[in-house]
Amino acid sequence: MSWTQMTGGESVLQSKEYFRFLIILNCCCCLVANGVDSLQTLKQIVGDANECKEFIPQLGQRIKLKAKLDGINLEHNQSQIINSEENNEEISEEPGANKVFVLDVDNQPMPVAPNIQNVQFLLMDDDLSLQNKPCSDLSIASTSTTTLVEPANGINEVILNFNISQLLDATSMGRAVKALYKAKKTLSSKCQSYLVEIIVQHFINAVPFRRLTNEDFRKISKLIVEEFPNELPQVYFTSPIRKRNSRDQKTGIARGKLVDKYRNRLTFLRDSGILLSSRSSLEVNDDTTDASENFDYNGDHDEIITWLKNNQEPWSDVVSKWNATYEYRQRLYMRHENLQEILAVFPIIQNPLGHRLIDIDFEKRFPSHNLLYNNFETVFNKLLELKKKSLNQSDSLIVDIIKSNTINNDSRHYLMLMLLPALLPTKTYNKKGKNSWYPTSTEIISGIVIQVKIPGDIPNIIDEKRKKLVKYGLPLLPFVIIEGASYTDINQIYVSYDSIMYRVVSVLKAVDICFQLMHTLNLKYPYECEHVWMFIQLGIYNLKTVYDKIPNILDIVNKIKSSD
């Protein structure tokens, strides 16, 4: 029976694609001569590296052949029904509406190629070998990526023709996601996970396979928001951070639920051998030099800076001269100097009232964002309302204490801080290697606030914390110290950062100073509690920066604001 008779004149694959595949299969005439006349037999040959090398000596041809077989096997195993692309008809749900034929790849005879010399010419636009082609801009640092990529500039054609509504309507899970959104006007974390899984599978199973780029993810995220207006595009895709915009002078990879899911699925396929892979460390283009890198010392400030180094009063003069050196100081901070180098120029920061100067700089840099005192309890209660069902029994007891009238404001705010990690989505920790660290709930809380019973314990606590962080190659950053026998018996409240120690009047003031120090001095958030500080920043201070790259936090903040 001929191929045309088997399919009724219609092919499951494009005729050109199938013909090209047949040519690859026949690139060595010795296959046919040795009785390798079916795809099933050919797959066994390809599965044996030594035999495959004997029959197909050229490495490039072996790579191409394996890739084509993997692609057809994946399609066949998933029983993917593909209608002829020549008539562009949509598959109807009504029986018999379209004639669809499924190719049994295991039993097809392998015809002899009419002109084997044309193999290289026919495959020029489908070359799977490694060449000097332009790379897409998706930053997946230290992540293996498939060699089955066909690089292209801009958004690929598959993205331009992508219809998210039709894709969701075509699956039961997709229809369920749409129905739940229609009923609740929001997508839960579970629905978001189902949504990105459906989308990722759609593009991974596309034939031919093409790796998605940052621009592709940006477009898909916008389409998601068009379909689900209350969603936030940054939940699904956030651009990689350029080195010059990074607080630690390191390039950050693209993040988001869509990107993370896609990256994880590619890793799974690569590990299983379905996709060929190569090591890649594609980074964001960072040729532009930041102005702070060309920092020049301005001699006009010499006299003022000298005065600030040697005087701590009258305080009105301190404030006046501090304001006069603001621009100079910001450029100094942006050079990523360590704290001791900054203190060598501005030792006044260590003054017991130094936090007032930090407050001045914060207000200048982020006007109208000093919102902690007005927003803290309101935002916490909204978060509690959204996530209280996820709390365990001991956390629920803390909630009861918070809501009671038996404790003062400092005790209440301290307990609220302790409860935040339990209410927020879990952070994904990417630190790998021998010194990898996956902080516990207690360690997350300790990154923000630590309680000691007596003042004499404070130096030991700071020293222990510093030694632990050094073990993981991490810096000691600002945190709150509460001195007292228990949460109901708070004697003193401090902010500690390296050699700086401020005694403050309230728990919220301590949190405020920590936050202001990190933003004024251009510091990263502590590794173990980064997501908690990100929530405080976005949800309470209502402050957005280029560093906001934790999708789960962006999502929960969006849900809180949508509940207003």
* CB distance 556 to 424 below 8 Å: yes
> Is 139's pLDDT higher than 70?
no
Report if residue 286 sits inside a domain.
no
Report if residue 363 sits inside a domain.
no
Please state the rounded mean pLDDT for residues 316-329: 94
Do 184 and 305 belong to one domain? no
In this prediction, residue 116 carries a pLDDT of: 33
> Is 104's pLDDT higher than 50?
no
In this prediction, residue 110 carries a pLDDT of: 37
Please state the rounded mean pLDDT for residues 502-508: 97
Please state the rounded mean pLDDT for residues 113-133: 34
Alpha-carbon gap, residue 479 to 496, rounded angstroms: 6
Do 412 and 537 belong to one domain? yes
Domain count for the chain, please give it: 4
Question: 366 vs 69, which has greater pLDDT?
Answer: 366
Query: Any bridge partners for residue 483, and if so which?
Result: 452, 492
> Is 479's pLDDT higher than 70?
yes
Q: Nearest-5° angle of CA 384, CA 385, CA 386?
A: 90
Do 264 and 329 belong to one domain? no
Render pLDDT for 546-555 as a digit per residue (tens, 0 to 9). Answer: 878 788 999 9
> Is 307's pLDDT higher than 60?
yes
Band the pLDDT of 259: cuts 50, 70, 90: confident
Alpha-carbon gap, residue 178 to 219, rounded angstroms: 20
Do 85 and 188 belong to one domain? no
Please state the rounded mean pLDDT for residues 180-190: 90
Token digits of residue 492: 């003193």
Do 234 and 152 belong to one domain? yes
Query: What single letter denotes the amino acid at residue 434?
Result: K
Do 64 and 36 belong to one domain? yes
In this prediction, residue 275 carries a pLDDT of: 74
Judged by average pLDDT, the poorest of 183-187, 236-240, 447-451 is 236-240
Band the pLDDT of 300: cuts 50, 70, 90: low
Report if residue 364 sits inside a domain.
no
In this prediction, residue 482 carries a pLDDT of: 98
Last residue of a domain, one of 67, 99, 126: 126
Alpha-carbon gap, residue 458 to 441, rounded angstroms: 21
Judged by average pLDDT, the poorest of 116-130, 291-305, 382-396, 407-421 is 116-130
Over the chain, what is the mean pLDDT?
75
In this prediction, residue 270 carries a pLDDT of: 78
Do 168 and 111 belong to one domain? no
Judged by average pLDDT, the poorest of 29-38, 87-96, 226-235, 461-470 is 87-96
Judged by average pLDDT, the poorest of 19-28, 190-199, 446-455 is 19-28
Alpha-carbon gap, residue 284 to 141, rounded angstroms: 10
Do 411 and 552 belong to one domain? yes
Question: 333 vs 56, which has greater pLDDT?
Answer: 333
Do 412 and 558 belong to one domain? yes
Alpha-carbon gap, residue 359 to 510, rounded angstroms: 12
Band the pLDDT of 289: cuts 50, 70, 90: very low
Render pLDDT for 374-430 as a digit per residue (tens, 0 to 9). Answer: 999 999 999 999 999 989 999 999 999 999 989 999 999 999 999 999 999 887 766
Do 217 and 336 belong to one domain? no
Last residue of a domain, one of 219, 245, 278: 278
In this prediction, residue 417 carries a pLDDT of: 97
In this prediction, residue 40 carries a pLDDT of: 65
Band the pLDDT of 220: cuts 50, 70, 90: very high
Indicate the burial class of 60 (C-beta count within 10 angstroms; 0-12, 13-18, 19 or more): middle
In this prediction, residue 284 carries a pLDDT of: 37
The residue among 141, 101, 106 whose CA lies nearest residue 5 is 101
Predicted TM-score (pTM) of the model is 0.59
> Is 221's pLDDT higher than 70?
yes
Report if residue 40 sits inside a domain.
yes
Report if residue 289 sits inside a domain.
no
> Is 201's pLDDT higher than 80?
yes
Do 265 and 306 belong to one domain? no
Token digits of residue 88: 């562009």
Token digits of residue 171: 């699956």
In this prediction, residue 442 carries a pLDDT of: 93
Report if residue 176 sits inside a domain.
yes
Band the pLDDT of 338: cuts 50, 70, 90: confident
Instruction: Please give the residue range of the domain that contains residue 210.
Output: 145-278
> Is 194's pLDDT higher than 70?
yes
Alpha-carbon gap, residue 490 to 460, rounded angstroms: 19
Query: Any bridge partners for residue 452, and if so which?
Result: 483
In this prediction, residue 31 carries a pLDDT of: 58
Last residue of a domain, one of 244, 278, 312: 278
In this prediction, residue 422 carries a pLDDT of: 94
Please state the rounded mean pLDDT for residues 93-104: 32
Q: Do the bridges between strand 489-497 and strand 500-504 make them parallel or antiparallel, or are there none, so unpaired?
A: antiparallel
Band the pLDDT of 313: cuts 50, 70, 90: very high
Do 528 and 411 belong to one domain? yes
* CB distance 448 to 532 below 8 Å: yes
Report if residue 484 sits inside a domain.
yes
Report the range out of 71-75, 174-178, 278-282, 429-433 with the highest average pLDDT: 174-178
Alpha-carbon gap, residue 423 to 383, rounded angstroms: 7
In this prediction, residue 4 carries a pLDDT of: 41
> Is 69's pLDDT higher than 80?
no
> Is 134's pLDDT higher than 60?
no
> Is 286's pLDDT higher than 50?
no
Render pLDDT for 8-38 as a digit per residue (tens, 0 to 9). Answer: 444 444 444 444 444 454 554 455 556 665 6
Band the pLDDT of 81: cuts 50, 70, 90: very low
Band the pLDDT of 260: cuts 50, 70, 90: confident
Report if residue 291 sits inside a domain.
no
> Is 524's pLDDT higher than 70?
yes
> Is 109's pLDDT higher than 90?
no
